[in-house]
Amino acid sequence: MLIIISGPSGSGKGTVVRSLDPSRNYAMSISVTTRKKRDGEVDGVDYFFRTIEEFEEMREQGEFLEHALFVGNYYGTPRSYVNEQIALGKAVFLEIEVNGALQVKEKFNDAVLIFLLPPTMNELRQRLISRNTEDPETIEDRLRRAREEIKLIDKYNYLVVNDYVDNAVNEINTIIEAEYLKPHRNMSLLENFEEKTNAETILF
């Protein structure tokens, strides 16, 4: 199962995803990037670090669920890594901005889209200000963009208000548990049930 955690810049996607319980059968998607490795970052853990040529080759081979250019560097979500983790029976989390999320949903129809909403616009503004990394104009830009993104909420499967990180994480866990109860995620159970049924019919 692929779970996409998305929402406006400042909604707290990163914090929420880092707070997910690693003892559950969860895996985090790892992005491919062409940006330089920073001190302490590990290839295959923080990112898959690749050259621009390697990245473009992967893109041409259709190996990305989504990709984007950001401040002069490429970023992409590798389909193969996601598929490997899903094959291991894991719930794979992808933390991604809204446009990328809708791109992935198109290629991966079974993905579970979760929109992370800040409690109010005012709270969102405060969070962006307290980051202390963006000038007022950029912050207003992000707020305008957030308003546009919120209009796309009906394309999502679930809506989680990130008032407190623990609440948001609990709600995400609940969503995963409920999604595992969908009939189409239990076809093997049903096949076994039918097998048992047939075996019984013969014995009867």
* Contact positions vs its own copies (CB under 8 A): 115, 117, 120-122, 147, 150, 153-154, 156-161, 171, 174-175, 177-179, 181-184, 186, 189-190, 193-194, 196-197, 200
**Closer residue to its own copies, CB minimum distance, 63 or 179:** 179
CB of residue 156 vs its own copies: minimum separation in angstroms?
6
CB of residue 195 vs its own copies: minimum separation in angstroms?
10
**Closer residue to its own copies, CB minimum distance, 37 or 182:** 182
**Closer residue to its own copies, CB minimum distance, 70 or 164:** 164
- Please give the radius of gyration of the chain, using alpha carbons only, rounded to the nearest integer: 20
**Closer residue to its own copies, CB minimum distance, 70 or 193:** 193
Q: Mind giving me the DSSP string for 126-183?
A: HHHHHH--S-HHHHHHHHHHHHHHHTTGGGSSEEEE-SSHHHHHHHHHHHHHHHTTSG
Nearest Cα neighbor of 51 from 33, 71, 70 is 33
Q: Mind giving me the DSSP string for 89-100?
A: T-EEEEEE-HHH
